[in-house]
Amino acid sequence: MRCQRCGRAISPLRQLTDSEFCSESCRRRGPRASASLVRDAEFEVDPFWQAAHEQANKPHGKASNVLVAGLVTGLLGAMVLARIVFPDAMPDAGGASPLVRAVPTVRPNQGADKDQALPGQADGISGWLEKHLPGEKPVTAKWDAGKSDGDWTGTAVGWLKRDGMMQPGKLRLWKPTLNSKDYEMEFEAAIQKRGVSWVYRAQDSKSYYATKILLGRGEAGGSTILRYGLDNNREFARVELPLPAMLQAKKNYRIAMMAVGDHFTTLIDGRVVDEWTDGRLKKGGVGFFSDEGESAGIQWANFRERKGVLSGLFTAALILPPGVSY
């Protein structure tokens, strides 16, 4: 046997009276503490050390955590990059109003043709992402009065084709646009008599927003813009405002309108002429009409739905399934 204090062998004579220590001196000093004894004692009396020990021995899914973190970080980075590099507004938009800096615009009609990009239409990398990312693609449509009658719904009463232009009569809606929410429409029109009228967020012939561009009345009268809404044939928010310049009859103008959320903007030849908000009608298509005493010719129209790059990024990241818009 060996001493619990010094480790030396205990003499046979000593073993007759003490089998643990080789001498009275070692007994008085007590047994020597070992590292294993200290560890075991701390494990039993210190719950914090015990919890830490259990946590250290717990298996972790490190690979899956790193993958999830990488996907989330990459998605957020792509979203921020898309917002910074591809803003909705064109930085060089013209016009006297400071609002044009926040609104996509078209160029004045100086030799441009009807096939140029719609206001705010994405191109470059942004356009490539919008085209190739999974998910529902934005609706785009073109109509040319000289080539086809288009895909319209509603009565054709009063609609006439003359000199390569279509003169609207009773309200007709453009079918490809009927389920859209946020979008831009641009068209070329010449006012023959009184004014030109169109609708947007039109759910049917009883619920829509409408805007009219009206020629001046008499020599002293200036041109105006009139807008209002119908909700189940009940009119609301009717306002008529003067335009900054008098328009001329039988002259072609490029007119653009944008509906984004509850915000609506109208431009004539690239200049913002009206901006307003209303949240009653959330979605619906576009169309044309003429009230009594009005006559205008529409030469062509372009339509583009606004879905943005974020919708495709979310779909690509499997946060939203294909076909669900952001």
**DSSP string of 116-171?**
SPPTT---HHHHHHHHHSSSPPPPEEEEETTT---SEES--TT-EEETTEEE--S-
Between 62-85 and 308-316, two packed helices, what is the crossing angle to 10 degrees? 170
Give the residue extent of every domain in the chain.
12-56, 63-88+122-137+308-326, 104-121+139-306
Tokens for 152, please give them. Answer: 């319209």
Q: Say which CATH topology domain 104-121+139-306 has.
A: Jelly Rolls (2.60.120)
- The confidence score (pLDDT) of residue 26 equals 85
Query: 230 with 207: CB under 8 angstroms?
Result: yes
3-state DSSP call for residue 275?
Answer: strand
- The confidence score (pLDDT) of residue 64 equals 66
pTM over 0.75: no
- The confidence score (pLDDT) of residue 78 equals 75
| Biggest CA-to-CA distance, the chain | 138
Dist CA 321 CA 326 (whole Å): 10
- The confidence score (pLDDT) of residue 141 equals 94
Tens of each residue's pLDDT in the chain, 326 residues: 788 888 888 888 888 888 888 888 888 887 775 544 444 544 444 444 455 455 555 555 566 677 777 887 887 777 767 665 555 443 333 333 333 333 433 333 334 445 544 444 455 555 555 555 555 688 999 999 988 767 899 988 999 998 889 999 999 999 999 999 999 999 999 999 999 999 999 999 999 999 999 998 644 568 999 999 999 999 999 999 999 888 999 999 999 999 999 999 999 999 999 999 999 999 999 999 999 999 999 999 999 998 755 544 443 444 444 444 33
Q: Which residues pair with 153 in a beta bridge?
A: 173
Amino acid type, 223: S
- The confidence score (pLDDT) of residue 80 equals 65
- The confidence score (pLDDT) of residue 10 equals 87
- The confidence score (pLDDT) of residue 48 equals 47
Q: How many CB atoms lie within 10 A of CB 118?
A: 20
- The confidence score (pLDDT) of residue 137 equals 81
